[in-house]
Structures are given as structure tokens and as C-alpha cells.
Structure 1
């Protein structure tokens, strides 16, 4: 559990730095567009590629930090034990099957892109589209790993009746 959490945290923190790169790419793109009336398909594609990587690789860290979107009508008033049961059942019935299907289905998507040598359909766009597509199964895998950690934590709370905090490094 601790190893998973540390790995997810490391990947999430590293991924979060891509937001700085994304902002720089957008600022440069806007500057070139409005000052020099110049734009490129590659810069526009790089913007959405960076956003996709941030979203896909950051999702597991977001779950770990409990910063994901939650429809919280009753959950906040539950005891730690009830929250643990909700997390356990929700992760087992919803999150892990979703991650498994997403991971499995995206593998053929990446393989097809790689075998075709897929590139951007736009003139001047980015090459090797399989690279960005490969972040899809990686993102689902990381989210599934974090789901396993969430299950282990929930079981620990149910058994011991308390939350075991993981020390942050």
C-alpha cells in the first residue's frame, strides 16, 4: 500500500509540472498568433497532448489526495467505518472494473496506432501519435493501482476502526 502510494505521488507530482509547460506553450502560441499572425498545428496539438497527459497520469494522484469530484450528499456525515465501506464497495464494483475495461480496450487502440505509424492528419502536426495514445492504458493502470491502495486502506479501517495515515515525503 505504501509503495503504491509513494509511486502514485511521485508520478502525480512529476505530472503536475507539465501544467507549467502547458501554460508556457499556450502563452507562446497566443503570443505568436496575435503578434506575428503565426500559428502551427503542432503547437495546438501539443497543448491538448499535454492536457491529456496531465489528466490521465494525474487522475490516480487526484484520487489518492481525495481531490476528485464527488457527489457528496451523505458521505461527509458518515463515520470513518461507513466511508470505508462506501470506498470499498465503490472501488470494487465501479472503479476497478472501469479501469480494467479502459486498460484492456485501450491496448488495441495504442497497438493499432503504433502499427499504422499514425501521425497527425494536420499538415505540420505532431508525429508518432501512438505516444500520446499510450498514456491511456498507463493512466488506467495507475488509477487501478490507486484503487487497490484504496481497497487496502478501507479494509484496514473496517478491521481496525481507524484511518491509517501514510506519511508524506
Structure 2
């Protein structure tokens, strides 16, 4: 399903939905705003969904997250910032690949270079990956930026007005 969504193969997406769930063609058509006949044509590969408008209508109608189809987060995903933040920071750490202990050690090394009087522990990394807070303390934000090479925004955190760097 993920590959089909990423490649915009909606014939496969619709086929999987119809065969492996209780969703019917007319349900897909209703959520997309078209007829069941058009959905049948997509499944039978007589019609190929290619336009941005159609893809976004399908994604919004079926509540497919924007990142699954190569778009920015959809407007209805706004309340899901915590999940997005967790995945971005954790995804970065796992791509390096580092354990939480290795990432904490790298942040401590960056703190030593910056002469910051802070200490990072595994529990900090875990909390930042799973918390509902807007962002870590500004000192840790700078250290995270140093270690990852990404801005706090790119890591999925949103700074509050009182905590701007």
C-alpha cells in the first residue's frame, strides 16, 4: 500500500482497499467526489489519476497523510503535529544510525565545544522523541541543530514565542 501511494498507483490503492477492507467502490467514489464508475475505470486502469487536484482530493477524502503521497501535511493533519515531530527526530536518529545513548553523547560533545553547562541523557532523547511539548529548552535546541545539521523546524519542533532562539 505504501509503495502504491508513493508512486501514485491508485489502481493498486483502490484494489487493496476494496479487497482487504470493508471499503467499497462507492465509498471511495463518495469520498473522492466522483462516480463509482470512475473508480472502476481507475481500478481497471482505463483511467490514470495524474493531476495534483485529483490526488489531493483522494488523499483528503480517504484521509491519507500528505507525506504518504509526496505532499506536505494536509490541512486536516494540523492536530497531529506531535506524531509528525516524533517521527522526524526519531527518523533522523535512526538513519544515522545512532542509539539514544550515542545521540546523547554527541549532544554532550557539542555542549562541551560550545562551553554550555548542560548534560544530555538518554531520557532527554526519549522525551524529545515522544513528548507533547513544543520544543526542548533553547540551549538544547541549539545543540540539536549543531549535532543534526538541521533546524529545529526541520526536526519537526515548533518554537513558542517565549522560547525563540
Q: What TM-score comes out, normalization by structure 2 length?
A: 0.28
Considering fraction of residues, name the structure with more helix: 1
TM-score of the superposed pair, with normalisation by structure 1: 0.28
Structure number with greater CO (CA < 8 Å, separation at least 6) is 1
